[in-house]
Amino acid sequence: MSLRVLITGGSSGLGRALVARYLADGHRVLVGDLLPPEDPGGAEHLKLDVTDPEDWRRARTWCETNWGGLDVLVNNAGVAAAGRLERIEQEDWDWILDINLHGTVLGCRTFIPLLKEQGSGHLVNVASLAGLMNLPGMSSYNVSKAAVISLSETLRHELAPWHIRTSVICPGFVPTRLNSGLRSPDPVLARLADHLIRHGSLTPEQLADRAVRAVAKGRFLINTHREGRIAVAVKRLLPALADRRIGRQWLRTKAKLDAQDLEAEAAQPAPAGNAAAPDAPAPAGPEHTGPEHTGPEAGVREDVTAAGRAAATGGTAPDAPRGTAR
């Protein structure tokens, strides 16, 4: 049977591979993305900003008008981030939650009434292994993906009486363009994430094949990577071992972050106006009761504060891509 499938973020990366996989199986596919696919391959395209409720309403209207309904909604659009929690700006928290979480919620809210009317359908939410492992240095990304997993498990039971199925895909690292828009105030963590993404163990096409076959079987939690399944099993069955491994790895990463911070501090110029003029005489009399704090030592506190502020906003990290939402 030919399915009617809407895939968000379907113009690139994993989304593009999912589009190709569903088309290869003879299904009808609508790509919901800000940009049209370079090679649609028979898929339809609708401009869709997943954070815009009106765009979602238009997508539902399109499906009802052109297809008479929808069988599979794949909430795939997403962005990535890394960084120590205290350095991630609030606007970056809003950015990633708006796209990764609220975009998924909007998609589900828009189409659930239609699927209930039909008495059938399948919601497929793309989360991440990060939402299961919750490793340090990725708090905003972890939270956004863990919330998608929680949402999916809630809907799995909530929608079952209407014969609506729910699946959540939790891939590990995949070589896609996800890293091109990655936001991070920490260059060390940005480079680490970029390396892991570029050297993922599965191609987007391999991941899409595994995901589509698992969705067709009605599986709920789809952990596509073998190393991901092992990591989750160790965390569940041998938590002390998992904690030791994660702790050791984070200490190695922390050493690199400490070196990054020292380098950033050293690169900051001394605050203007704090150095004493060369010919200025030292104050005399009883008011001069200690060493004059107008030399380099006086700037230490201000220098450290400025370095921390610059690092928190990416000011000392020209190689950390800021990116924009797709």
Residues designated catalytic: 141
What is the number of residues in the chain? Answer: 326
What is d(CA 326, CA 23) in angstroms, rounded to the nearest whole number?
A: 23
How far is residue 233 from each of residues 170, 222, 224, 293, measured CA to CA in Å? 14, 14, 14, 58
User: How many other β-carbons are positioned within 10 Å of the β-carbon of residue 53?
Assistant: 12
What is d(CA 278, CA 263) in angstroms, rounded to the nearest whole number?
A: 29
Residue 128 CA to chain centroid, in angstroms?
A: 9
What is d(CA 184, CA 201) in angstroms, rounded to the nearest whole number?
A: 23
Whether 43 contacts 92, CB under 8 Å: no
> Torsion angle, CA of 212/214/220/226, rounded to 10 degrees?
-110
What is d(CA 91, CA 69) in angstroms, rounded to the nearest whole number?
A: 36
**237 CB-contact burial (10 Å; exposed 0-12 / middle 13-18 / buried 19+):** exposed
What is d(CA 237, CA 235) in angstroms, rounded to the nearest whole number?
A: 6
| Cβ within 8 Å of residue 236, ≥6 positions away | none
Structure tokens belonging to residue 168 = 């959540």
What is d(CA 82, CA 86) in angstroms, rounded to the nearest whole number?
A: 12
